[in-house]
Amino acid sequence: MNVSKKSGQVRIGAILILAIFISIISGMWITKFFNDNPQAREVSVSEYSGRVFEPPIPLQSFNLTDHEGQSFSPVNLLGYWTFVFFGYTNCPDVCPMALVDLNAVYDDLASKFVLGNTKVLFVSVDPERDNLTHLAEYISFFNEDFTGVTGNAAQIASFAKQFGAVYKKVENREDADDYLVDHTASIMLIDHLGRLISIFPPPLDHKKIVADFLKLRDRYGDGYGCLIN
């Protein structure tokens, strides 16, 4: 076996181990999430395909920057139903597939004439490489209406923690700049009052996501009266 092939196998093995690690840690985060939010409970899984929290959980203050260089804070969520995905632009497969699914969600809602005040937020967990220019180009490839956000390491970690989202850099010994980031692959949904209301774990199904979204929107309101920006 040549060195290059052996190195590749070691890297794949490391990624698989880290994937299991991230899965375990993610489950621990969800447990802690409920311990920290005793008022939250999940609605019956038979009613929704995703994990739905009732009452929804308010997000704490945060300060990020969108792909246009503008500040992005809780006020930017008010009046909008927002789908959130944590990833990075060099992601080889999970992120592109998730964004394709979110684009399908967008198209489906548009065909039902209920797209309205719906946003898609892509949160980069790779601030070292994902500058605003790179982030803007990446987002527009999938949908020009999507919003990319980033920040420094502490800002991103604080925001991700509120969703139980976890991520970990996977070092590449052969090329320090060509690393991977193992990360949570779920899609989150924030309601029009800036509260976490649902988590859609993989495997993702855009039709089920749309069905859940429409039920939740009918139940909690479309949010147009909350629009302030």
Identify the CATH number of the domain in which residue 55 sits: 3.40.30.10
Domain limits for position 183: 3-226
* Pairing of the two strands 187-190 and 180-183: unpaired
d(CA 140, CA 63): 22
**Amino acid residing at 184:** T
pLDDT in tens, the chain (229 residues): 443 444 444 444 444 444 444 444 445 555 555 555 555 565 655 688 888 998 899 999 999 999 999 999 999 999 999 999 999 999 999 999 999 999 999 999 999 888 889 999 999 999 999 999 999 999 999 999 999 999 999 999 999 999 989 999 988 777 667 899 999 999 999 999 999 999 999 999 999 999 999 999 999 988 765 655 5
The pLDDT of residue 167 is: 93
Give the pTM.
0.81
What's the pLDDT score for residue 12?
44
Domain count, the chain: 1
Q: Annotate 72-81 with b (16+ C-beta within 10 A) or e (fewer).
A: beeebbebbb
DSSP string, 152-181: -HHHHHHHHHTTT--EEEE--SS-TTS-EE
pLDDT at 88: 97
Based on its alpha-carbon atoms, the radius of gyration of the chain, rounded to whole angstroms, reads 18
Residues contacting 63, CB < 8 A, separation 6+: 71, 72, 73, 151, 155
Q: Hey, what are 214's tokens? A: 């429409």
